[in-house]
Amino acid sequence: MTRFAAPIAEQIWDMKYRLKEADGTAIDQSVEDTWSRIAKSLASVEKDPAKWEPKFYAALEDFKYLPAGRITAGAGTDRSVTLFNCFVMGTIPDTMVGIFDGLKEAALTMQQGGGIGYDFSTIRPKGAIVKGVAADASGPLSFMDVWDAMCRTIMSAGSRRGAMMATMRCDHPDVEDFITAKSDPARLRMFNMSVLVTDPFMEAVKADSTWDLVWEGETVKTVQARDLWDQIMQSTYDYAEPGVIFIDRINATNNLNYCETIAATNPCGEQPLPPYGACLLGSINLARLVANPFEAKAEIDEDALGDLVATAVRMMDNVVDASNFPLDAQAQEAAAKRRIGLGVTGLADALLMVGLRYGSEEAAAQTEDWMQLIANASYRASAELAAEKGAFPLYDADKYSASPNVQALDAEVQALIAENGIRNALLTSVAPTGTISLYAGNVSSGIEPVFAYAYTRKVLQKDGTRTEEEVVDYAVKMWRDKMGDADLPDYFVNAQTLPAMDHVRMQAAAQKWVDSSISKTINVPEDISFDSFKEVYMEAWDTGCKGCTTYRPNDITGSVLSVEPAKSEDAAQAEEAVAEVVADQNAGDVIYMTEPLDRPEDLEGQTYKLKWPDSEHAIYITVNDIIHQGQRRPFEVFINSKNMEHFAWTVALTRMISAVFRRGGDVSFVVEELKAVFDPRGGAWIQGKYVPSILAAIGGVIEKHMVATGFLAGEGMGLKSDPQADVVAMAPKGKACSSCGQYTMRMVEGCMTCSDCGYSKCG
C-alpha cells in the first residue's frame, strides 16, 4: 500500500524532496526513508537521540506534520544547505560601499536558496544631493534594479529561482515611484513589493488629511493621504502589486519589540523579521487530524493536536542547531532568538470535513478556536523546552510577558512561561504551503480555501509526451470515497465563488492567534469595482490583519488557473477552424505553435566564435533556423567550449533555449533575458562595448544572428510586428510556468504556483 493519497503527491516527492545521487540514482527508496532521514537528522542534536527519533518519525508519518520544503529536502543529506526558508537582510547603509556590501550578502544568501527581504527606505531619494561627489542620488529604485539583475544572475547560474521582497515606507519621498514600478512589465520581476503603512498614515487616510513625505527629518513633498492610498490601491488593482504591510501593528505586537525593530518581511509576507532575521517554517496538517469526517460527530482530536504541536516545536527548535547559514550574522541572530514559524495547512479541507462553509462566521469561529489551541500548545511546549534546555538568550521576563500575544494565552501557559522562561521568542506563522500540500495528497494550502475541487493536470512523460490526469482535492476525494456519487453539500465552496470579504474574515480570525503573520492571497474577480476592491484593504485594516495581498487577473501577470467546462464537439471544431483561418491569413508572420515542431533532417545555420577576455578557451555558438510558414526563424542553439567549467551550464542553456525556440511565438525575450544578466565579478569590453557577463555576450550573439536572418529588424528593436495581433485564438492565457512551460500558473498565498508541476516562484 502506498502512503501517497494521490499520484501527484508521489511525483512531487520524487521531484523535490527525495534524496538522490548527483546522477539521479535514488537514495531514499520510499517516503518512509525520507521521514527516517529527517527524524534522524533532527534528533541528532538531542542528548538522547534514540528516544526522540521514533517520536519525530511518528509526527512525520502519514504527513501529519510537514516541515517546510527546505527541511524536507535538506535535512540529513550532508549537503551544505540552509534549512531556513527565509531571511531579511541587514539594514542598507546610505552609502555606495554599504549598498554593494548588502548586494554581496544577498547574493551569498540566495546562492544557498534563501528567500530574502529588504527595506529600501534607508536609501536617499532620487535627486537628493550626494555630498563629496557633486552629484544627485539616483534613488532606491535604481538600486533595486541592480538587486533584480543579481537575482536573475544567480538563477541563470543554475541555482533555484530567487525570491525577494522589497519594502518602502509610506513616508519615503520616492514611494510614489515605488508604487507604480511594476506597471513596467519588464521591471523588477524578481521582487514582490509591499508598502510599509503606518498607523498615522491610516488615520490620515480615514480623516482625508495631508501626508508628508520626508527624508532626514525634512519634508520633501506633501500629498493628500487618501490620494496616496488610492495610488497604492490603483496599482495593486491593475498590476497585483504592491501589497500592504501594517508595520506599526507588527512592531506593537512583536514579542521582541524591546530588542528589535522590524521594517521588512520575507518574500511571502508571513515572517516580519529584523535585520539578519531568519525563520524556519513547518505546518500541522489539519486535514489528517479530523476524526469521523463528514459525520455528525466529526471533530479534531484536541489532545492529539496538542501532542503533535509539542513534537513539532521540538523538531523545529532543533533545526536552529542543525542548520547551516549563508552568513554568520544570520546564525547569530537565529541563535539569540530561536524564532520558529509553526503554521497549518489543510484548514479548508478540515472545515469541509466538519461540515462548515469556508468564510462563514461559524467557520471563522472554528478557525479561531483551532488556532488558539495551537498557540497555547506551542507556547506551552516552548516553555517546557526552556526548563530543559534554557530560554532564548535575549529573553527578558518582564518585557516579554508584557507582549499582547503572551497576555492572550491561557493563564496556566503564562504561569509556565513566568516560571521557566521560553525557548523560542516567536512560534507561529502561516506560510505558503503549495508544494508540501500537494506532497501531502493535495490538501488545501495554508488557510486558503480549496482552489478547485478537481482539475486536469498534464504530466510530462520520459519519452517527451504528455498524459492527462485528474487532480482531486483531498477532502473531495474523501467525500467521493465515503459517499459515492452523492452530490457535494452546499457548504462545499471554493476560491472561484468565494466573496472577497469572506477571505478577509478568515485571515483576521487566524491572525488573532498567530504571533508573526500570515501568507494569504485574496483572489478577487476581474470585474470587481475599484471601490469594492478598496474596501477589502480597509476591512483588513479594521479587523486586525497585519497585511493584505490581493490578486485580480491583469495584463501584466496574467490570469490565475481557470477551471472551464469541457467544450462541445461543435465548439472545438469551430475553434480549430478559426485557428486555421488565422494561420492562413498570417503566413510569413511569427506564429504561436501549440506543440513543438519536429526537427527536419537538415537545417541551415551559422556558427559564431565568442572569445571572452581572460578565458583560455573560446565559446562556439551555433544557431540553426527553420522555414516555417514562409518565415525563417531560430529553431535550435548549440553552445560548446573546451573549458569544462562551462560544461554544465552551456548544456543546460543549449537545451532550454532550443526548447523555447521550438515552441514558437515571441522568442526575442530570450535575447532580452540573457543580455540583462550581469556578473557581480565584473563584465568585459568586447569590440569597444561593455558586456556585463558571458551570458549577456551569448545573448548578443543570438541577437546578431536574428538580425542577420531578418527575424529581428535590428539590435534591441524586438520583433518586426506584434505576433499576437492577429492570432488571438491561439494565444495562451496568462504566463507560462518557467519550469514545465504549461499555462497553469495561479496565485496562492502570495506566490505564482504551477498546478501542473508544483513549481512555485517562492520555492
Q: Which residues are catalytic?
A: 266, 268, 270
Q: How far apart are CA 203 and CA 682, in angstroms?
A: 48
Q: How far apart are CA 549 and CA 561, in angstroms?
A: 18
Instruction: Give me the phi and psi of 168, to 5 degrees please.
Output: -150, 140
* DSSP track, 537-555: HHHHHHTT-SEE-EE--BT
Q: Is 418 helix (H, G, I), strand (E, B) or coil?
A: helix
Q: How far apart are CA 137 and CA 130, in angstroms?
A: 6
Closest Cα to residue 321, out of 331, 311, 310, 308?
331
Ranges assigned E (strand) in 552-702 = 604-610, 619-628, 631-641, 684-686, 689-691
**Residue 169: C-alpha distances to residues 87, 174, 178, 209, 254 (Å):** 19, 9, 10, 18, 19
Closest Cα to residue 315, out of 46, 30, 13, 70?
46
Ranges assigned E (strand) in 249-345 = 264-265, 272-273, 278-285, 290-291, 299-300, 340-345
**Residue 655: C-alpha distances to residues 188, 636, 648, 739 (Å):** 26, 8, 11, 13
Ranges assigned E (strand) in 100-152 = 115-119, 129-130, 135-136
Strands 604-610 and 619-628: antiparallel
Is the CB of residue 180 less than 8 Å from the CB of residue 160? no
Q: b/e per residue, 42-64, with b = 16+ CB within 10 A?
A: bbeebeeeeebbeebbbbbbebb
Q: Is 5 helix (H, G, I), strand (E, B) or coil?
A: coil
Grid coordinates of 329: 550574522
Q: How far apart are CA 253 and CA 265, in angstroms?
A: 15
Q: What is the CA radius of gyration of the chain?
A: 27
Half-sphere exposure for 422 (CA within 13 Å, toward CB): 32
* DSSP track, 224-257: EHHHHHHHHHHHHHHHS--EEEEHHHHHHT-TTT
- DSSP code for 488: P
Q: Is 223 helix (H, G, I), strand (E, B) or coil?
A: strand
Q: How far apart are CA 485 and CA 422, in angstroms?
A: 51
Q: How far apart are CA 115 and CA 520, in angstroms?
A: 17
Closest Cα to residue 300, out of 364, 375, 351, 365?
351
Grid coordinates of 702: 543570438
